Amino acid sequence: MEYVLQSDVYQIKLASLISNVDKDVMVELYQPLVGANASILYLTLLKQKRNEDEENEYQLTHLLNILQFTPAQYLSARRMLEGVGLLRSYRNEARQYIYVLYAPKNPKDFFDDVLFKGLLIQSIGEKETKKLASRYKVNLTIDQGYEEVSASFVDIFHPNYDDAAFKKNFKDSFVGHDEGRIRINFNDDLFTKYLSDTLGIPELSVGKRDLKEIARYSTLFGFSEKQMASVVAGLYSVETSPHIDFAKLAIKAEEELRNNKPSISLEMSVMKSDDPISEKCRLMDSTVPAKYLKILQNNTKVSNSDLQIVESLSKNYGFSNGVINAIIDYALEKCENTLNLNYCEKVASSLARGNAKTAIDAMNYLNRKTTRKKPEIAGENKVKVEEKVSSKKPKSKISDDEMNDLLRELDTEKTRRKAR
């Protein structure tokens, strides 16, 4: 588990030239994704690096004082920057850090990236995202009647390539404009192997640019390399360029998501307690919503309308499985075992404002909300009405038998994965 100490020290390195335009992109496009704390941390580290005369070592306690951050706030902000690829952190056993800063994506690359564009829409809405995008539009259309009269390089310089100056080779590493790239857990080699071995598509048929886009969609939909190979196989065409229609890929991936949810993640939330509620929260965090719904309705098929609600919560709010399952559980309890889209979105908006990340976050938030005192009611004797604040733990919608069945299924899945 990562932690920080005020006695930690760090150096800063620049992997890229970072311009004033990059700073604008950081504030306008990245800040809605990572938050103001991460944004000011990035700009402060950049300023520290530019102010130094030579490579210096800094005390973390000084940085915390400058930013007025607690260690926890600092760590959260740093991890946000790491998540979007703007910062890479390295540490040795003496707790000395090296922070490497990368430039933000240029606006074109940002809006072409399905993950970044999607996260921005989730953060500020589609209307505001389009307004931001319009600020970076360019119009390079040349009116009729104009022809280019620009001079070429050789027209001006007439280089003599036999001159020794053109044969000099500098072996040093120089700074460029290296944009931050997010780390995606997608194995290109494994994906192309599935395409080749199982589906007969040669490994070299998919270019690096297509692989990069496929990896993004894999992250977006939570698909494994094998699942993505299956999705891509039906869309690959040798005769067209590009070989893959990514608009159709998105549609097919959504259909696959409805019919065949991605593999169950076996990473559990960090909860020490083994009581039923903690156990239930771990199950919520580790179970895809379609599977969770199926368990709640005695392993019968989940309706398309319910799956659309689940997809809406994932697509529009970016919630984890645990939070979505908590919303499902809460909505079914409050709406007499019926999933109502408007009600679910109302709960989701509250949880988004409450910054819920896991099932236990969501359940704690919703439980506090329902045990809050009602306001005083004017009327005879001004009777004060108060909801009963129960100290009992939230009621579980899963029976002991169902929970045991799901635990056995998760154990079986875990064993099967290890055997691969």
CATH classification of the domain holding 26: 1.10.10
Q: Which pLDDT score is estimated for 59?
A: 92
Looking at residue 44, its pLDDT comes to 95
378 lies in a domain? yes
Per-residue confidence (pLDDT) for residue 338, from 0 to 100: 87
Q: Taking residues 17-31, report their average pLDDT.
A: 92
In a domain, 89, yes or no: yes
* Residue 237 sits in the same domain as residue 288: no
* pLDDT value for 385: 35
Of 373 and 284, which is predicted with more confidence?
A: 284
Domain count, the chain: 3
**Category of 41 on φ-ψ map: left (φ > 0), alpha (ψ -120 to 50) or beta:** alpha
Q: Which residue has the tokens 């098929």?
A: 301
pLDDT of residue 284: 84
Stretch 249-273: mean pLDDT = 54
Q: What is the pLDDT of residue 408?
A: 58
Element (H, E) at 402: helix 400-419
Q: CA separation (Å) from 407 to 107, 141, 210, 250, 278? A: 46, 61, 38, 32, 13
pLDDT digit string, tens, across residues 159-170: 776 777 766 776
- Examine the pLDDT at 3 and tell me if it is beyond 60: yes
Whether the pLDDT of residue 140 is over 60: the answer is: yes
- Distance in angstroms (rounded) separating the CA atoms of residues 234 and 242: 15
% of the chain surpassing 70 pLDDT: 72
413 shares its domain with 280: yes
Q: Give percent of the chain above pLDDT 90.
A: 22
**Predicted pLDDT at 268:** 33
**Pairwise CA distance, residues 269 & 325, whole Å:** 14
Residue 376 lies in a domain: yes
- Per-residue confidence (pLDDT) for residue 395, from 0 to 100: 44
Please write the tens of the pLDDT for every residue from 190-219: 777 777 776 666 665 677 778 877 877 777
**Quick one: 338 and 371 in the same domain?**
yes
pLDDT of residue 62: 93
Q: Is residue 313 part of a domain?
A: yes
Helix axes 321-334, 341-353, angle to 10 degrees: 130
Residues 306 and 405 in one domain: yes
Q: Residue 276's pLDDT is what?
A: 60
Q: What is the rounded average pLDDT for all residues in the chain?
A: 77
Q: What is the pLDDT of residue 229?
A: 80
Q: How far apart are CA 112 and CA 129, in angstroms?
A: 13
Domain boundary among 72, 107, 142: 107
Judge if 207 and 317 occupy the same domain. no
pLDDT at residue 85 is higher than 50: yes
Which of 92, 107, 122 finishes a domain?
A: 107
What's the confidence (pLDDT) of residue 411?
Answer: 59
For residues 252 and 301, membership in a common domain is answered with no
Does residue 271 belong to any structural domain of this protein? Answer: no
Q: Report pLDDT for 404.
A: 58
Provide the 3-class DSSP secondary structure of residue 245: coil
Instruction: Identify whether residues 346 and 289 lie together within a single domain.
Output: yes
Question: Is residue 2 situated within a structural domain?
Answer: no
Supply the pLDDT for residue 390: 38
Residues 6+ apart with CB under 8 A from 197: none
How much is the pLDDT for 335? Answer: 87
Q: Which domain holds residue 87?
A: 9-107
- Most confident range, picked from 52-56, 236-240, 383-387: 52-56
pLDDT in tens, 343-401: 898 899 888 887 888 888 888 888 765 544 444 444 444 333 333 333 444 444 455 55
Q: Do 226 and 312 lie in a common domain? A: no
* Spatial separation of the C-alpha atoms in residues 117 and 122, rounded to whole Å: 9
Residues 240 and 342 both lie in one domain: no
On whether the CB atoms of residues 95 and 87 are closer than 8 A, the answer is: no
pLDDT value, residue 409: 59
Using the predicted structure, report yes or no on whether residue 223 has a pLDDT greater than 70: yes
Q: Is the pLDDT of residue 324 over 70?
A: yes
294/344 same-domain check: yes
Of the residues 209, 226, 259, which one is the last residue of a structural domain?
259
- Based on the fold, state whether residues 299 and 394 are members of the same structural domain: yes
pLDDT of residue 297: 82
Quick check: 27 pLDDT over 50?
yes
Whether 285 and 402 share a structural domain: yes
Among 5-19, 90-104, 162-176, 298-312, the minimum mean pLDDT is found in: 162-176
Which of the two residues, 100 and 380, has the higher pLDDT score? 100
Residue 16 and residue 102 in contact, taking contact as beta carbons nearer than 8 Å: yes
Whether residue 46 lies inside any domain: the answer is: yes
In a domain, 119, yes or no: no
The pLDDT confidence band at residue 257, using thresholds 50, 70 and 90, is: low
Token pair in block for residue 317: 């709010």
Confidence of residue 286 (pLDDT cuts 50, 70, 90): confident
- Does the pLDDT at position 97 exceed 80? yes
